[in-house]
Structure 1
Amino acid sequence: MGKKLEFPQEFLWGGATAATQIEGAYDVDGKSLSIMEMIPFVELEDRKDLSKTRNLTMQSFLDSIENKKGLHYPKRFGNDFYHRYKEDIRLFKEAGLKIFRMSIAWTRIFPNGDEKEPNQKGLEFYRNVFEECKKQGLEVMVTMNHFDTPFPIIQNYNGWKNREVIDMYLKYAKVIIDEFNQYVKYWLPFNEINLGVLFSAIATGEEDASKSFVEKLAATYQELHHQFIAQAKVVEYSKKYEHIKIGCMVADTTTYPLDCNPINVLENQQKEQMKKFFYYDVMIKGEYPSYSKRFFKEIGVNLEMASGDLEILKNNPVEFITFSYYMSSTISKEMGELTEGNLMRLGKNPFLKATDWGWQIDPLGLRYTLNQLWDRYQVPLFISENGIGVLEKLNANNTVEDDYRIDYLGQHFEQMSEAIKDGVDLFGYTMWTPIDVVSAGSNEFSKRYGMIFVDYDDYHNGTGDRYLKKSYHWFKNFMETKEI
């Protein structure tokens, strides 16, 4: 008999995906390309070094459209959810999931961004998906923009640097809220909004190599301001529907000082402020915090704001926090050995083990993070991504004996239960991910997160058929017993 964990009866257990990583059908029913679908697969000599996957320029994006070199673009194919969604949603439900976090592809609804009317074929697809979720008794959480701004917006309007994109985004957001609010209670305007600054080539399209570091930083913070305003306007619009809630989504970069040297403790505090709390502070408290003003002043960033921007932010905070949590890292004034993280490089922690991709496994850090966020913001919390990516192959029994995933999930579930006992208002969890997908950062299919194995390799050779891993059956049992 295992250890029984305590969770509220109404706790929302689920799984998370993203349109660009699962759907495929990149050229079907009027869809345009997003930047994520314009990144070619690159063989990695060292999985802890993703630098080869980040050599992105406007020319490389343009070249990908005709693809004269015959490169493979994994996110154009995903795991074929577009054609197999009924099967996948049924498997999610049978595993015991209560909620499915997914994204709507902006590229399917307004392919160019500036159309007057939405693409009905795109709306029809998502209506069918939501109807299937409803049929299976799955609640839905939708991310409106999961790193997939339509490329025509980048090409023709210079992306989020152009304030006009706020209105394009708001038009898109209003359409999907109006169309699908009867299916979807929980909405997230942007996925991991902080990665627009940390890795802007993917999230926002910034790629001008001729600019200085400060110029690039200023440009990405300007884009971020436009996203903050867009999100606040979504919150404002959503008030016409009393039953829906708008939250935020941040890639949580949980860090510790490398040691107790006060220099490193202060360095960690300052890094936490601008790489983590800054985003929550703007979206929850509705204002730019004082430490950010000093930071901007000292590096020479002057944000351009329209009249009324600060009032819009103040009057329209999000109602709940969601965040991704995969790992933690260390911070010191003189950064030592680094390891890969979620689209960034982070300080190594000698007390932690890491995955093949250098992501440091820290279940206790999740409890620490939950308490930290609850103490600071006092709004409901939801873990929208958490999981482990591993190289896996089917065995002779057409399954995967993924005890390491079972251990990973069980240890994190235990710390979630402890945080709830601590008094944290945690109301749900969606693992990344219930089914194998194309990795956002490394662009690999072989980096497998799912409890459901999908028969594709990195070049999409295979049948695409679904097979249940050992963790699937373990999770199904956990949903029934709450024992790890």
Structure 2
Amino acid sequence: MNQKNLIPDHFMIGTSSSAWQIEGCAGKSETQKSWADLFYETDPSRWHDQIGPEKASDFYHHYKEDIKTMADFKMNTFRFTIQWARFMKDALKKEVDKEAVAYYRDVIQTIKVHGMKPIVSLEHWDIPAILLEKYDGWASRETVDLYVDYVQKVLDEFHDEVDLWFAFTEPNIPIDNGYIKKIWYPFVHDPQRAYQAHFHKILATAKAVEISRKYENVKMGAMVHMTPVYSRSKDARDVEAAYYTDLFEVRLYLDAYLKGEIPSEIFTELSKHGCLFEFKEEDLKQIKENQIDLLGIDYYFPIRVKARESAYDGPFCSKYYYEDYVWPQREYNADRGWEIYPQAIYDIAMRIKKEYGNKPWFISENGIGIENENRFRNNDGYIDDEYRIDFIKRHLSYAIKAQAEGCNCHGYLIWSFIDNLSAINAFKNRYGLLELDLDTYKRIPKKSLYWLKKVLEQGYLD
């Protein structure tokens, strides 16, 4: 056994999920539609096999079974989302749904009864649909105010039962995809609205942190979709392209969350391009005074960049500064279209240690999606996903290495415990340690789940 591969004591090992991707719509009324429901209903043909969020993985009916499976396979942590649209009976009237409270309370208690730690995200893209239709979602200040009320009501209910809370999961993704790339709802090109929404989510995070201070045992964090930026070369133009890409793809949120300030160049560049967001000086003060307690890193792939060789003619975003660079040594998941680069976890860790005061953090999502996994079914009837074992092993080993070298890393969570719904791709790419049979909703462990159990029982990576 290599001492370097020992899993540290008190290291969180488990899986992550999001409500709209696993729960389904059971138990929700017509007034409790979320972003995902609105997205799907706008044009079901955009979604693979026209499968939408109606059933998802049906965690709503299977949560006791699913949580028991996680515990039986020796995981110690489960991250899930309380869905804003489900928790509030009426998001505009600020009325809580008592059935939703009872459901989430039982989910939390089931996790704890099985000896695992619950981690709760308060928003994983699943904003109530009515706020998108009435207020343009996060582009409006009204949404911030309603979110604050929602956070207060959730913490009033559950602060004694859960200590690790996260204001947002991947706050930038639905904004960039919906307001800049035009591939998700509401399908527009409008960078001013996009950066207004980014700012409002940063401000809302600070407000959630401020609320959490009322409860002695509660810590409030945020989980960012981290895409570390690598330059093609050390040439000045490539380095500059990487710098500005990192400014908008990483530092916009990371500096706000860990330093309490939005980089000054963000204001300069957005002003230059006519898309600076509206803000008040007191907003910046609130962001400064309410930095998060714990950072979650959702890491899947890096961004490799080179200086632009042709002018950018799309709506303003980080692509203004760079063109994609294909690294000749690239390892590639062709099914998902993403580079596989495990060392990035170590690089992220060292950056947080050196540039951000070694603030506490953990890997809150990491996983691999593969299409048509049925081709890997073995004679015993389950998916023989050696590729997932290899992926997890290499990424986890870098998290352990970083922790051993003094980085304040507290865990590694896999996306995901079960095959789950994704926006547009639906169930095309499978991420789970558990296979989901879409006809029967039967859960079938994959080889990776048996491998993970062995690793957790022995306490080290082979």
What is the TM-score when the length of structure 1 is the normalising length?
Answer: 0.86
Letter of the structure 1 residue corresponding to residue 60 of structure 2: Y
Distance 2:336 2:391 in 1: 15
1:111 positional shift? 4.6
Letter of the structure 2 residue corresponding to residue 445 of structure 1: F
Letter of the structure 2 residue corresponding to residue 418 of structure 1: K
Verify: 1:470 aligned to 2:447, yes or no.
yes
Q: Is the 8 A contact 1:285 1:317 kept in 2?
A: yes
Distance 1:295 1:403 in 2: 45
Structure 2: gaps spanning 5 or more residues: 311-318
Between 189-198 and 85-94, report the one with greater CA deviation: 189-198
Alignment of 1:256-275 (within 5 A): 256-275=230-249
Percent identity (aligned): 30
Distance 1:161 1:26 in 2: 29
Distance 1:194 1:276 in 2: 10
Distance 1:410 1:29 in 2: 42
Q: Is the 8 A contact 1:229 1:312 kept in 2?
A: yes
Structure-1 residue corresponding to 2:405: 422
1:26 positional shift? 4.7
Distance 1:448 1:346 in 2: 26
Alignment of 1:89-104 (within 5 A): 89-104=67-82
Pick one of 284, 290, 293 that aligns with 2:267.
293
1:389 positional shift? 0.6
Residue correspondences, number: 442
**SS of the counterpart of 2:229?**
strand
Distance 1:171 1:388 in 2: 36
CA RMSD of aligned residues (A): 2.5
Q: Is the 8 A contact 2:202 2:287 kept in 1?
A: yes
Q: Is the 8 A contact 1:453 1:466 kept in 2?
A: yes
Q: Is the 8 A contact 1:189 1:246 kept in 2?
A: yes
**SS of the counterpart of 1:360?**
strand
More strand, by proportion: 2
Verify: 1:178 aligned to 2:156, yes or no.
yes
Over 3 Å counting, the alpha-carbon distance change for 1:147 and 1:116 in structure 2 is closer
**SS of the counterpart of 2:304?**
strand
Structure-1 residue corresponding to 2:422: 439
1:329 positional shift? 2.7
Q: Is the 8 A contact 1:36 1:148 kept in 2?
A: yes
Verify: 1:124 aligned to 2:107, yes or no.
no
Q: Is the 8 A contact 2:26 2:60 kept in 1?
A: no
Distance 1:330 1:208 in 2: 26
Q: Is the 8 A contact 1:325 1:383 kept in 2?
A: yes
CA offsets 1:163-183 (integer angstroms, 9 cap, x no match): 111111111111111111122
**SS of the counterpart of 1:74?**
coil
Alignment of 1:5-44 (within 5 A): 5-26=5-26, 28=28, 32-40=32-40
Structure-1 residue corresponding to 2:432: 450
1:203 positional shift? 11
Structure-1 residue corresponding to 2:316: none
Stretches of 4+ aligned residues off by more than 4 angstroms: 1-4, 201-206
1:204 positional shift? 12
**SS of the counterpart of 1:76?**
coil
Q: Is the 8 A contact 1:188 1:246 kept in 2?
A: yes
Structure-1 residue corresponding to 2:363: 383
Q: Is the 8 A contact 2:21 2:56 kept in 1?
A: yes
Distance 2:279 2:343 in 1: 40
Alignment of 1:236-315 (within 5 A): 236-306=210-280, 308-315=282-289
CA offsets 1:201-257 (integer angstroms, 9 cap, x no match): 599987374xxx5xx111111122222221111111111111111111111111211
Q: Is the 8 A contact 2:366 2:414 kept in 1?
A: yes
Structure-2 residue corresponding to 1:341: none
Distance 1:309 1:364 in 2: 37
Distance 1:366 1:262 in 2: 26
Structure-1 residue corresponding to 2:124: 146
1:38 positional shift? 3.6
Distance 1:127 1:35 in 2: 23
1:328 positional shift? 1.4
Letter of the structure 2 residue corresponding to residue 373 of structure 1: I
Q: Is the 8 A contact 2:21 2:57 kept in 1?
A: yes
**SS of the counterpart of 2:53?**
helix
**SS of the counterpart of 1:430?**
strand
1:258 positional shift? 1.4
Distance 1:30 1:95 in 2: 37
1:160 positional shift? 1.7
Between 392-401 and 270-279, report the one with greater CA deviation: 392-401
Verify: 1:168 aligned to 2:146, yes or no.
yes
Verify: 1:411 aligned to 2:385, yes or no.
no
1:185 positional shift? 1.2
CA offsets 1:311-359 (integer angstroms, 9 cap, x no match): 21111111121111111131011379xxxxxxx9954322122111211
1:81 positional shift? 0.4
Over 3 Å counting, the alpha-carbon distance change for 1:367 and 1:189 in structure 2 is same
1:382 positional shift? 1.0
Over 3 Å counting, the alpha-carbon distance change for 1:314 and 1:101 in structure 2 is same
Structure-1 residue corresponding to 2:328: 350
Letter of the structure 1 residue corresponding to residue 28 of structure 2: V
CA offsets 1:424-470 (integer angstroms, 9 cap, x no match): 11011111112111124x432131111111112xxxxx101011111
1:303 positional shift? 2.4
Letter of the structure 2 residue corresponding to residue 368 of structure 1: D
1:30 positional shift? 6.3
